[in-house]
Amino acid sequence: MNATQNTLSLKSVYIDFREITKARLAVSVVFSSIAGFMLGINDIHSFSWMVLLKLAVGGYCMVGASNAFNQVIEKDLDALMDRTKNRPVPAGRMSSNTALIIASLLTIIGIVLLYTINSKTAMFGAISIFLYTSVYTPLKTMTSLSVFVGAFPGAIPFMLGWVAATGEFGIEAGTLFLIQFFWQFPHFWAIGWFLYEDYEKAGFFMLPTGKKDKSTALQIILYTVWLIIASLLPALGYTGQLFITPIAAILVFLLGLWMLYYGVQLYKKRSAKAARTLMLVSVSYITLLQLVYIFDKFLR
């Protein structure tokens, strides 16, 4: 009986840790960092499994810490929303103090691991946590500009991988940052659209106009266009060591049109279903774009 209870207890601890760190989101962020790392190394011979492991674990810790701090700050608001009311802290399965300890330990472990790669990587990781918890989170109940602020820590992972590989922050890392920065807007506004009523319960302002209207849908389209332009910059030869071939540029452009199509569909239909579809497409888009960049680098 005790063995069964221990197994159930370990399983519940694992599930709560996964939820407090928002594991699925954290893994997707780590993937972005790994993509940036692969683009940053000179060739496959300069690849280091140890650096990659430290980047992956350190990156997970940084995202997990941000999410844990966020859930402590927003525990009362999370309890109001269907989407978040069963998270460990608002549901009462984990105390705020325990969550704070977890968040603090993850911060320390994450910064130390990233610092052992290089100091710039640790610095950007620390900036990401600070912006997410101290600026983005409080702004969510005040203004829709919170999405703009949140786009900064959200855009760091892709370029963090490049900085980890090279130790430098230049035009290349800046371009990777720009791509993921513009991507945040259609992605999060789509989420804000189909979860509008749930967010409203907690008083979160996620949409640029505060409403599910044509103006919000139009801004989603405009930012998607900016995203397409940013993603094609490496094809023009002005982004230093980061460049893509014409074939890759065509693939990236087609991916952009694919996402733009669903942005236009949202503008036409203005429905929760269209917004959810755009959100799913946006997740596929950023992953496929990163894979195109990587395959183009190593296959050319």
How many structural domains does the chain have? 2
**For 74-117, what is each residue's pLDDT tens digit?**
888 888 888 888 888 888 888 888 889 999 999 999 999 999 99
- Whether residues 42 and 156 fall in one domain: yes
- Whether residues 23 and 155 fall in one domain: yes
- pTM higher than 0.75 for the full model? yes
- Domain extent, residue 184, equals 170-300
* Residue 3 falls inside a structural domain: no
Domain of 109, CATH number, reads: 1.10.357.140
**For 226-282, what is each residue's pLDDT tens digit?**
999 999 999 998 999 999 999 999 999 999 999 999 999 999 999 999 999 999 999
Q: How confident is the model at residue 1 (pLDDT cuts 50, 70, 90)?
A: very low
- pLDDT(45) > 80: no
CA-CA-CA-CA dihedral for 277, 278, 283, 288, to nearest 10: 100
Token pair recorded at residue 170? 């230049």
Using the Cα atoms of residue 19, residue 187, residue 122 and residue 66 in order, give the sign of their dihedral.
Answer: negative
**For 13-30, what is each residue's pLDDT tens digit?**
888 888 888 888 899 999
Helices (H) and strands (E) in the chain, counts: 13, 0
First to last CA, the chain: 59
- Whether residues 162 and 256 fall in one domain: no
- Whether residues 204 and 91 fall in one domain: no
- CB 237, CB 243: distance < 8 Å: yes
**For 134-150, what is each residue's pLDDT tens digit?**
999 888 888 888 888 99
**For 161-216, what is each residue's pLDDT tens digit?**
999 999 999 999 999 999 999 999 999 999 999 998 888 888 887 888 888 889 99
